[in-house]
Amino acid sequence: MIITLRPHTNTKDKEELKARLLSLGVVIHESTGENYTILGLVGDTTGIDARSFEALPYVDHVTRIGAPYKLVNRLFHPQDTIVDVAGVKVGASEPMVIMAGPCAVEDREQLEEIAQGVKQAGARILRGGAYKPRTSPYSFQGLGEEALDLLVQAKQITGLPVVSELMDENQLELFEEKVDLIQIGARNMQNYALLKALGQTKKPVLLKRGFANTIEEWLMAAEYLASYGNPNIILCERGIRTFESATRNTLDLAVIPIIKKRSHLPIIIDPSHATGDWELVESAALAATAAGADGLIIEVHNHPEKAKSDGAQSLKIDNFTLLMEKCKAIAPVVGRRL
Amino acid sequence: MIITLRPHTNTKDKEELKARLLSLGVVIHESTGENYTILGLVGDTTGIDARSFEALPYVDHVTRIGAPYKLVNRLFHPQDTIVDVAGVKVGASEPMVIMAGPCAVEDREQLEEIAQGVKQAGARILRGGAYKPRTSPYSFQGLGEEALDLLVQAKQITGLPVVSELMDENQLELFEEKVDLIQIGARNMQNYALLKALGQTKKPVLLKRGFANTIEEWLMAAEYLASYGNPNIILCERGIRTFESATRNTLDLAVIPIIKKRSHLPIIIDPSHATGDWELVESAALAATAAGADGLIIEVHNHPEKAKSDGAQSLKIDNFTLLMEKCKAIAPVVGRRL
Amino acid sequence: MIITLRPHTNTKDKEELKARLLSLGVVIHESTGENYTILGLVGDTTGIDARSFEALPYVDHVTRIGAPYKLVNRLFHPQDTIVDVAGVKVGASEPMVIMAGPCAVEDREQLEEIAQGVKQAGARILRGGAYKPRTSPYSFQGLGEEALDLLVQAKQITGLPVVSELMDENQLELFEEKVDLIQIGARNMQNYALLKALGQTKKPVLLKRGFANTIEEWLMAAEYLASYGNPNIILCERGIRTFESATRNTLDLAVIPIIKKRSHLPIIIDPSHATGDWELVESAALAATAAGADGLIIEVHNHPEKAKSDGAQSLKIDNFTLLMEKCKAIAPVVGRRL
Amino acid sequence: MIITLRPHTNTKDKEELKARLLSLGVVIHESTGENYTILGLVGDTTGIDARSFEALPYVDHVTRIGAPYKLVNRLFHPQDTIVDVAGVKVGASEPMVIMAGPCAVEDREQLEEIAQGVKQAGARILRGGAYKPRTSPYSFQGLGEEALDLLVQAKQITGLPVVSELMDENQLELFEEKVDLIQIGARNMQNYALLKALGQTKKPVLLKRGFANTIEEWLMAAEYLASYGNPNIILCERGIRTFESATRNTLDLAVIPIIKKRSHLPIIIDPSHATGDWELVESAALAATAAGADGLIIEVHNHPEKAKSDGAQSLKIDNFTLLMEKCKAIAPVVGRRL
């Protein structure tokens, strides 16, 4: 951590600050330049709140050198984490894992047709929403527990583990029982009550990036899970909010090499929410594969035009099948297979 | 709602779509242009999911004409809502209300000194964090219930109603008992489990705008509260996330006239989180006053440099007092008083 | 174009507006809903300024249905444009074209070594900056005309056509003589004086997307070139500015399928400026190839650590060569070859 | 400047880097932490390209401590700059200056009616566009030189100095002769050819912030003007591009205290382009006044609904007059007068 003092800071203020810093257990390296004096702090600064020093009128700004996360930091854990989702392994040294299924579970027939279809095309985990975060209170909010039961049945039939989004910590027990991979949605990435609750289980978590959160904030959300005890975390990029409105979000594929450098956690891509338009999903999914993703999560529907939510971004089963063929061809170029 | 069909859409597809639309209870006005055919839907389209039609390959795009919110829409409720916070009235026809206090409640002495200070300067509601949403799991997370009790005591001494942030629906009962105005923080603006729970009370809610949420999404979050039964909503702008990093967020003061036009709810401004820097707070607070805000919420600390959170953006009591004097002078120019 | 009138608009105002619209040569379809009246305009609305109607107090808003561009619109020109850059053809039905070379031309030796290296690896156009748009007036501004002469020499030796950025319309004649493809940089995408000047030539133009411009504004900049007489336009995405600072920009690969749908112009990707970090370039370049780009433009340097500009984002020749091998393997999966 | 070396950087690499740094004339302070080694550079680093070091594989990142601008930096020039626009002085110790007039000059009658109206209301500089940067090549592009002549006539009649936007360096001579304050528009803020040309005159420049440029980039554009010889610079904030589409741009008023802290240049606000909606202009203009702006520039039209450009954001003369009354009442609260 580097603290830059404003020009003309008096000695008394500087010495008081240094005494306070020393009491936090760090070593101080001081450099005096033409205009600014800088204090370099050496030692473990993870627990130090950089902003508290910015309250001092003679501090110009504070710059963090090391990352504020430890448990999810590759620097301290060089080996790739492999997350085991009911037997399906997700992570860098494993084959890519495709998760697919409807935005929302609507009924048994719908779910089973889609589950069989995506399995046949190569998907290895079934997705399906039970509780849906909808912008409007007047939109379909999901079938709830009934949907979870339908997912359990679909799993029995197809053998595919299931992933579904948890929105309410009071349903955690239910999800622990019925779901193999619990999704934290983009809107809840900084819902710390939920993160803390989930951190106290060992259930694998699919942690979506908030649509306006930085990579550092995302890794800090993962650090919440890890520091509360749950190391089974898969990160998922699903697009960020920008000024461009031609797509629902802007897919930020640079997160793949960046996450791989900074963290040991697996990273998968959601091209459906990123683009919001089924006609753009294939291009984005292939790009994610070429960019080195550990997996994909894709919305697939048997009748998108009748879907109760997000039909506009759902692939039909046959288009999904064609996409899988192309992914299988691209993956080996970047040292992976499906 | 306007549905634009792609060039060369065949008649069969168009007629099927029209039959489906009629079954939703709307009237259709069709216009055929040189390249596109447009279908104008007349009637109540609030419950129609525009995106479901975009799943159709022959639909180019769907445009909503009316707003998707009803209960918080000024069109249907022209009169200004006045929210009563334990006797302090907040809203357009009332004097501006200043809420002030520390980011986090730290101890009795700190809270009482600040509470007395801000009351004397003109604040009418006391703010104080009990449970803090912190980016890092290693940062101070708030005193929890102890802080709520200290707020109750400070209220007894000063007579100021209190506002504090709720992060976990399991603490709602506690907040209902001890807090006069319950804050939903920016990170939880789309935490629908929390909104639904709070919607089932009558407790006044301070609904902060998510730092990457549009005005429409914000009003839809308010619509959740209202549609679940709680009309006592005060909106609070606290800055949005942009590319500019010289401030913590970018304060969007245009929301004041826009919210006043679209909705009947009160709107207040938080210059502390918007700027993230105490040296910028006065300028932002005066701007908000001149722009017509119904109130302000400002972080004040007796010793900002020792604050356990957000010291960098906290005003000292004397600076806050000077600011209040200036606000009092500006308010009458825009037809208000403090 | 759809004009939405506010509730309670009086008949006189509406009739005056309709008379004005009829005088512009459009046909009006009127629909009256519960709250709003909408006027649908049928006919050529390209030349109508939508915002002028928003000045009327009784107009709520105006929505454009058709695109505001004509010459670059695929609707009116379904066939893909192929741009001929001194014999190298760029466009959808042609092989992908790789452009590579140093950010800035520094001297003859540097340029020739790089030119030979990238040619051998498979590049078909040589890039090299002569005039550099630098944020700081104290940074290296490029060798100017000397650099153009070195590019001409490198072309003679390698046979590679050359691309370089034009910043000043007064140098257009020089560029017309010495450069095969003239680049308009991101900062100048809306420099209309430059666009108009270049529109009066037939020289192929590489039109970079401004880092904060929408896809529509980008196509409108291309429309400037086309409407002034120059149809030889290659679009280039190089990342947009977002809140994320882990990369220099956020690469928006969705532009590839979107541009291909809306326009007939070729679209290439610049992974170097998009990421700003050589360690991220390979991942981005492979993603762009998989997403269907018509080409790539990549910064390559023989000694990046000594480069006079943008060394941080330049690949070494051997890394570029490895990247080309992978691109060659991916391209056929999406129906292309290098 | 701080250079952070990656963990396990070998000594040879580090020593080579240090030798290179010493050759640039700086002094090095080295600190070795648990994971990273940091090199603090002391001395004048303005001319050092931070990114060149990031090309080195063992450099993690480079952090600049001091600002990269010198001539416009308050640190080196503590006294406020006052710009004299044909007798009207703009700057911190002077009264606020209001600039007003039509977006585009349309004809003599229009310009004179508006000029008289705004003068009477208190404006002290007349604005009027002669060459208009329009997104569409099919929109009205301005009357050109004829408009400049009409501005000269309006100045003769009213005594108001005039400001107009220059887009093409080839018209600089014309502008030097006929215009008192030359505007660089947002789209041209990084048009370095234009900045260099204008830097070689002494004509006062109104430098608008690019709609996606940081405050630092803006000050660097001002540094271009200053370093080429022209110190007569007035900065103008006109809103930045964000995800929110309810306004044309998001007005960033925090720039006022930030610019005043970092630079000695005057800063004015353009509420018209920031909001894009005349109904929002008053609120924004009053906010800017309360925030401490040195001036405002506002679009006013006698018949906004017939304006050839930007009618939607133009105030009528009577609304502008009412606004001026309110500004006059607010200014003294922040130590200013109109």
pLDDT of A34 over the 80 cut: no
Distance to chain C for D335, nearest Cα, Å:
35
For residue B58, give the CATH number of its domain: 3.30.70.1140
**Residue from the list B55, B68, B139 with its beta carbon closest to the beta carbon of A304:** B55
Residues in a beta bridge with A250? A240
Query: To which residue do tokens 């595919």 refer?
Result: A160
Give the residue, D250 or B20, on which the prediction is more confident. Answer: D250
Residue C1 pLDDT more than 90?
no
Q: Is C25 on the interface with B (CB under 8 A)?
A: no
pLDDT of residue D19: 92
Could you tell me the two tokens for B225? 């509260």
CA-closest candidate to residue D262, choices D117, D124, D70, D110: D70
Any idea which of A119-128, A172-181, D40-49 has the lowest mean pLDDT?
D40-49
DSSP states of D61-78 as a string? EEE--S-S-STTBTTT--
Residue D160, in any domain of the structure:
yes
**What residue of B is the nearest CA neighbor of D210?**
B244
Q: What would the pLDDT profile of B191-214 be if each residue is shown by its tens digit?
A: 999 999 999 999 999 999 999 999
Q: Is the pLDDT of residue D34 over 80?
A: no
Q: Which of D33, D63, D93 is the last residue of a domain?
A: D63
Number of domains in chain B: 2
In a domain, C71, yes or no: no
- CATH code, domain carrying D186: 3.20.20.70
Determine, for residues C65 and B242 on separate chains, whether the beta-carbon distance falls below 8 Å: no
Q: What is the pLDDT of residues C133-174, one digit of tens each?
A: 999 999 899 999 999 999 999 999 999 999 999 999 999 999
Which residues have C-beta within 8 Å of that of residue B260, sequence separation ≥ 6?
B74, B92, B267, B292
Give ipTM to 2 decimals: 0.95
pLDDT at A29: 87
From the list A31, A65, A241, which residue is nearest D36 (CB)? A65
Whether the CB-CB separation of A185 and A165 falls below 8 Å is answered with yes
Distance between CA atoms of residues B185 and B191, nearest Å: 10
Confidence tier at D103 by pLDDT (50, 70, 90): very high
User: At C60, is the secondary structure helix, strand, or coil?
Assistant: strand
At D199-233, the pLDDT tens digits run: 999 999 999 999 999 999 999 999 999 999 999 99
What is this structure's pTM?
0.96
User: Is the CB of D140 less than 8 angstroms away from the CB of C49?
Assistant: yes
Q: Is C290 on the interface with A (CB under 8 A)?
A: yes
Asked whether residue D56 falls in the same domain as residue D110, the answer is no
Range of the domain at A179: 83-334
Q: Amino acid letter at D42?
A: V
Angle at D207 between CA D202 and CA D209, to 5 degrees: 160
Residue D162, SS3 per DSSP: strand
State how far the Cα of B245 lies from the Cα of B250, in Å rounded to an integer: 9
Q: Do D55 and C137 touch (CB under 8 A)?
A: no
Model pLDDT for residues C39-87, shown as the tens digit of each residue: 988 887 777 877 788 888 899 888 888 889 999 999 999 999 999 999 9
Q: Which residues pair with C41 in a beta bridge?
A: C28
Residue B273: its pLDDT value, please? 96
Pair A206, A283 in one domain: yes
The answer to whether position B297 is within a domain reads yes
In a domain, D73, yes or no: no
For residue range C199-232, what is the model confidence (pLDDT) as tens digits?
Answer: 999 999 999 999 999 999 999 999 999 999 999 9
Question: Which of A63, A93, A116 is the endpoint of a domain?
Answer: A63
pLDDT for position B45: 79
* B318 contacts: CB under 8 Å, gap ≥ 6: none
Q: Give residues with Cβ within 8 angstroms of D310, minimum separation 6.
A: C51, D103, D104, D272, D299
CA distance D254 to chain C (A): 17
Q: Does C223 touch chain D (CB under 8 A)?
A: yes
Judge whether D72 lies within some domain.
no
* Ramachandran area for residue D86 (φ above 0: left; ψ -120 to 50: alpha; else beta): left
Beta strand extents in chain B (DSSP E only): 2-5, 27-32, 37-42, 59-63, 83-85, 88-90, 97-101, 125-127, 162-165, 181-184, 205-208, 233-237, 267-269, 295-299
C309 has pLDDT over 80: yes
Q: What is the pLDDT of residue D52?
A: 81
Q: Give A-chain residues touching B211 at CB under 8 angstroms.
A: 212
Sign of CA dihedral C49, C55, C57, C62: positive
d(Cα C99, Cα C320) in Å, to the nearest integer? Answer: 11
List of chain A residues whose C-beta atoms are within 8 Å of the C-beta of residue B71? none
pLDDT over 80 (residue D47):
no
Tell me phi and psi for residue B283, to 5 degrees: -55, -45
Show the low-confidence residues of chain B (pLDDT under 50). Answer: none
The residue among C53, C93, C185, C86 whose CA lies nearest residue C131 is C185
Q: Do C21 and C169 reside in the same domain of the chain?
A: no
DSSP code string of B123-137? --EEE-BSS---SST
The 8-class DSSP code of residue A129 comes to B
Give the pLDDT confidence score for residue A272 in this predicted structure: 97
Please answer yes or no on whether D212 and C212 come within 8 Å at the CB atom: yes
pLDDT (0 to 100) of residue A229: 97
pLDDT reported for residue C130:
97
- CB pair distance less than 8 Å for D65 and A241: no
End-to-end CA distance of chain B: 43
Q: Using alpha carbons, list the distances in angstroms from residue B213 to A189, A210, B209, B232, D303.
A: 14, 12, 7, 21, 36
Q: Same structural domain for residues D109 and D179?
A: yes
Contact B258, B69 (CB under 8 A): no
DSSP conformation letters of B169-186: GGGHHHHHHH-SEEEEPG
Task: Tell me the per-residue pLDDT of C272-300, one tens digit each, with 9 for 90 and over.
Answer: 999 999 999 999 999 999 999 999 999 99
Burial category of A86 from C-beta neighbours within 10 Å (exposed 0-12, middle 13-18, buried 19 and up) = middle
In percent, the amount of chain D with pLDDT more than 70 equals 100
Max CA distance (Å), chain D: 76
Residues C221 and C122 in one domain: yes
- pLDDT at A123 exceeding the cut of 80: yes
Same domain, B59 and B111: no
- Rounded Cα gap, residues C150 and C156, in angstroms: 10
Residues D32 and D127 in one domain: no
Q: How far is CA C96 from the centre of its chain?
A: 16
- Rounded to a whole number of angstroms, the distance from the CA of B250 to the nearest CA of chain C is 11
Regarding whether A112 and A56 lie in a shared domain, the answer is: no
Place of tokens 């050529």: C44
Contact A38 D2 (CB under 8 A): yes
**First CA to last CA distance, chain D:** 42
B331-335 contacts: CB < 8 A, separation 24 or more?
Answer: B331/B95, B331/B96, B331/B289, B333/B290, B333/D286, B333/D326, B333/D329, B333/D330, B334/B289, B334/B290, B334/B291, B334/B292, B334/D286, B334/D326
Please count the residues of chain A: 338
With respect to residue D69, please indicate whether it lies within any of the assigned structural domains.
Answer: no
pLDDT confidence of residue D275: 96
Q: Average pLDDT, stretch D277-297?
A: 97
Is A78 inside any structural domain? no
- Fill in the DSSP letter of residue B29: E
Mutate which: A74, A75, A243, A244, vs D, most D CBs within 10 A:
A243
CA distance B204 to chain A (A): 19
Q: Is the sign of the CA dihedral A49, A51, A54, A60 positive or negative?
A: positive
Cα angle for residues D231, D232, D233 (degrees, 5° grid): 100
Q: What is the mean pLDDT of residues D269-298?
A: 97
Interatomic CA distance for residues B272 and B185, integer angstroms: 14
Same domain, C54 and C139: no
Determine the distance in angstroms separating the CA of C259 from the nearest CA of chain B, rounded to an integer.
15
- Give me the pLDDT at residue D241, please: 97
Sequence-distant (6+) residues with CB within 8 A of D63 are A2, A63, D1, D2, D4, D50
A20 by DSSP, 3-state: which? helix
Do the Cβ atoms of B284 and D253 come within 8 Å?
yes
The CA distance from C132 to B284, in Å, is 38
For residue A190, the chain B residues in CB contact (below 8 A) are 133, 135, 187
Q: If contacts are CB pairs under 8 Å, which of residues 196-215 in chain C contact chain B?
A: 212
Task: For chain C, give the number of residues.
Answer: 338
Q: Nearest CA to CA, how far is A332 from chain B (Å)?
A: 33
To which H or E segment does residue C106 belong? none
Which residue of D139, D170, D247, D309 is the best one to mutate when testing the C interface, meaning the one whose CB has the most C CBs within 10 A?
D139
Q: What is the pLDDT of residues A46-105, one digit of tens each?
A: 778 777 888 888 998 888 888 899 999 999 999 999 999 999 999 998 999 999 999 999
- Tell me the CA end-to-end span of chain A in Å, nearest whole number: 42
pLDDT tens-digit readout, A234-290:
999 999 999 999 999 999 999 999 999 999 999 999 999 999 999 999 999 999 999
Same domain? For D231 and D303 the reply is yes
Q: Give the per-residue pLDDT at A40.
A: 86
Residue-wise pLDDT for D116-140, tens only, equals 999 999 999 999 999 999 999 998 9
Residue type, C219: L
A71 → chain B, closest CA residue = B137
Rounded Cα distance between B51 and B54, Å, is 5
Rounded to 5 degrees, what angle do the CA atoms C42, C43, C48 make? 100
Same structural domain, A125 and A53: no
Q: What is the pLDDT of residue D292?
A: 98
Helix (H, G, I), strand (E, B) or coil at A155: helix
- D153 in a domain, yes or no? yes
Interface chains of chain B (3 or more CB pairs under 8 Å)? A, C, D
Q: DSSP per residue over D198-245, as a string?
A: HHTS---EEEEPPTT--HHHHHHHHHHHHHTT---EEEEE--B--S--
Answer yes or no: are the C-beta atoms of A232 and A204 closer than 8 Å: yes
How far apart are the two ends of chain C, measured CA to CA in Å?
Answer: 42
Q: Which amino acid is at D288?
A: A
Determine contact, residues D191/C186, Cβ cutoff 8 Å: no
Same domain, B150 and B38: no
Residue A168: Cβ-neighbour burial (10 angstroms; 0-12, 13-18, 19+): buried
> Can you tell me the distance from the alpha carbon of D10 to that of A13, in angstroms, rounded to the nearest whole number?
38
> Of D65, D63, D264, D220, whose CA–CA distance to C138 is shortest?
D220
Helix (H) or strand (E) holding C319, with range, is helix C317-330
| Chain A 232-271, residues with CB within 8 Å of chain D CB atoms | 241-243, 245
Q: How far is CA D189 from its chain centroid?
A: 8
